[in-house]
Chains A and B, each alone.
Chain A
Amino acid sequence: MKTYLISLFSPDGPPPEDLDLTTVMADLELVNADIRAAGGWVFAGGLADQGSATTIRRPRDSVADAVLTDGPFAEAKEHLGGLTILRSDDYDVVLGWAERIAGATGLPVEVRPFQGEGDPGQAPTDR
């Protein structure tokens, strides 16, 4: 059993006017329901606008104060817009879910495994 991060990349600015967000959210909920039914659902959520992000930098073991920057770590045309974390022992099934998320949103989606097997570090709520 591996844990995977599926991340969704959104362009800057408000969503296009012709986009029916209700349908998109309903489609995403269908995917989430299937992930839950498969028993591997850990977490999913959409992030607020990247303008709301704060970046913090502090040298390791430093007594200096942290430096806070108003804005995202990387200025880019597209940024992390939402993520799903799930566990599965079938990579192809995970890719299938990611394809459905991409299809529901029309946005690029990245699938990335967490290091190692099983739970990656912090235990989710079922611990």
Chain B
Amino acid sequence: MTVSGADIARVFRTEYGRAVSVLIRALGDIDLAEEAVQDAFTVAVERWPREGMPPSPAGWIITTARRRAIDRLRRESTREARQAEAVALHAPDEGSGLPEEGPVRDERLRLVFTCCHPALSREAQVALTLRLLGGLTTPEIAHAFLVPEATMAQRIVRAKSKIRSAGIPYRVPRDEDLPARLASVLAVLYLVFTEGHTATAGDDLGRPDLAAEAIRLGRVLVELMPDEPEAMGLLALMLLTEARRPARTDAAGDLVLLADQDRSLWDAALVAEGHALVRRCLRRGAPGPYQLQAAVNAVHTSAATAADTDWSQVVALYDHQLRIAPTDVVRLNRAVAVAELDGPQAALALLDGIDLEGYVAFHVVRAELLGRLERWPESAAEWERAAGLSDNAPESRHLRARAAGAAARAGDRR
């Protein structure tokens, strides 16, 4: 079987985080680990097309990266002696036989907790997690946060440097520290999932590998913290969102909105698992933002058709969420539900005072509501604004088509 560049790119996306997490453990240095893994992929690009894909690509990358790192350390006398010692110390095993300090045997989880350490800013936490665990490039991350690439590069360099100089530990926190450390991990995982669900840029709507990775880590978190309803809520939210993926794009790869989706395409197993989790976590009586968002998604995925959606239940859940964590995004989502109950005029009034000018969904909602009110020129302008903010090809195509549709209606009425 021939190995193409796309095959190797796929392995890179799915295995980069795993390889880097193991290498950091072995080398005690993030930059060194990244260099080693990138070196290993350079070797893979030369060899795999000739020799074929190894049986375990991740294992091959990790082993090759470790050898490369040792070679590099031997060559470069400027490197700290302690790094060479670290390699010598850990080289005999593949990172699996080392004594574990925390309750979880997963190097990537260790990496998540280090990336999400409270001594790092939230921005740095997210950037590091996407970069090290998700294998995203700095430009992709910069894009996700609407900041210049140089700013994001600087942010990542500074965060790595702080981990090194302050000695931020590379471990899963002790049991007593876990609950406090969880919140930032959940926020970061959800952001990774969101990037996987609707990619910042590119020709594909999402990055299923990234969403799958967020879900996988979400499962590990739930296993690790079975008494933490928000971890369960986040997992449920991700599963119920992921379940709809097959219906989110049509044969041409274009975006299909929730109301227009063929619900028979939804992944029934993921829906069932998500619903069970929502019931389980809400029974604990400690609803948080993730559980409530999951509950909203449970309402949507319980409806056989869009018309069957229990919108009053959705509004009630958003009201609850606003009491716990009032944000403009929640207000926007609530307005969408209000539109179904009380009509577009009422919903549009709710959007006044919401400041989400740089957010695609804000303009989509406005465009949709203005369209229902047959205010076509304004609606077309909002669709255009939304399209202008999106670098995701399927999303942007959809938005431009809607803009053209609204503009045509506006022309008809003139």
Contact = CB atoms under 8 A, between A and B. Distances in A.
A interacts with B: yes
Interface of A: 2, 89-92, 95, 111-113, 115, 117
Interface in B152-173: 165-169, 173
B166 A113 contact: yes
A92 B169 contact: yes
Given A92-B173, A92-B177, A113 B167 contact: yes
A112 B166 CA distance: 7
A77 to B, nearest CB: 24
B336 to A, nearest CB: 42
A113 B162 CA distance: 9
Interface string B119-134: 1000000000000000
A95 B168 CA distance: 10
Contacts of B168: 91
9 contacts: A2-B166, A89-B167, A95-B118, A95-B119, A111-B119, A112-B166, A113-B166, A113-B167, A115-B165
A95 B173 CA distance: 13
Q: How would you classify the secondary structure of chain B's contact residues: helix, strand, loop or mixed? A: loop
A91 B177 contact: no
Q: How would you classify the secondary structure of chain A's contact residues: helix, strand, loop or mixed? A: mixed
Nearest to A96: B177
Interface string B350-361: 000000000000
B82 interface: yes
Contacts of B173: 92
A4 to B, nearest CB: 8
Nearest to A93: B169
B169 A113 contact: no
The winner among A2, A91, A92, A112 for most chain B CB atoms within 10 A is A92
Nearest to A1: B167
Given A2-B166, A95-B118, 5 more contacts: A91-B119, A92-B177, A95-B119, A112-B166, A113-B165
A106 to B, nearest CB: 20
B82 A117 contact: yes
Chain B interface: which size bin? 10 to 19
A113 B165 CA distance: 7
Contacts of A115: 165
Contacts of A89: 167
A71 B165 CA distance: 32
A91 B82 contact: no
Contact of B169 (A91, A111, A117): A91
B165 A91 contact: no
A33 to B, nearest CB: 21
Nearest to A95: B119
A95 B117 CA distance: 11
B119 A2 contact: no
A2 B82 CA distance: 13
B110 to A, nearest CB: 14
A89 B165 CA distance: 12
Contacts of A90: 169
Contacts of A95: 118-119
The 9 A-B residue pairs with the shortest CB-CB distance in the complex, in nearest-first order: A91-B167, A2-B167, A113-B166, A113-B165, A91-B168, A91-B169, A91-B166, A92-B169, A113-B167
Nearest to A115: B165
A83 to B, nearest CB: 17
Contacts of B167: 2, 89, 91, 113
Nearest to A92: B169
Contacts of A91: 119, 166-169
A76 B271 CA distance: 58
A111 B117 CA distance: 15
A52 B119 CA distance: 33
A113 B161 CA distance: 12
Contacts of A111: 119, 166
A98 B360 CA distance: 42
The winner among A90, A113, A117 for most chain B CB atoms within 10 A is A113
B175 to A, nearest CB: 13
Contacts of B166: 2, 91, 111-113
A115 B166 CA distance: 9
Nearest to B171: A92
A112 B165 CA distance: 9
Contacts of B165: 113, 115
B144 to A, nearest CB: 28
A17 to B, nearest CB: 34
A90 B170 CA distance: 10
Interface in B105-155: 118-119
B287 to A, nearest CB: 29
Contacts of A2: 166-167
A2 B168 CA distance: 11
A89 B118 CA distance: 18
B185 to A, nearest CB: 15
